[in-house]
Structure 1
Amino acid sequence: MLQIKRVYEEAGAADGYRVLVDRLWPRGLSKERAHVDLWLKEVGPSRELRQAFHGGKIDFAAFRQAYEEELKHGATRTAFLQLQEIVKEHAQVTLLFAAKNQAENQAVILEALLKAKR
Structure 2
Amino acid sequence: MSVYMITYFLSDTHGHGHDHDEECGCGGEHSHDHESCGCGHDHGHSHESANSGANIIGKIKSLGGWAQFLPEGFFVKTNSLSAEDIFTEINSVANGGDIIFVTKIDSKTSACANPAVLDWLSQE
Report 1 or 2 for greater relative contact order, CA contacts < 8 Å, sequence distance ≥ 6: 1
| Higher relative helix content | 1
TM range (shorter): under 0.3
| Higher relative strand content | 2
Larger radius of gyration: 2
Q: TM-score, normalised by structure 1?
A: 0.27
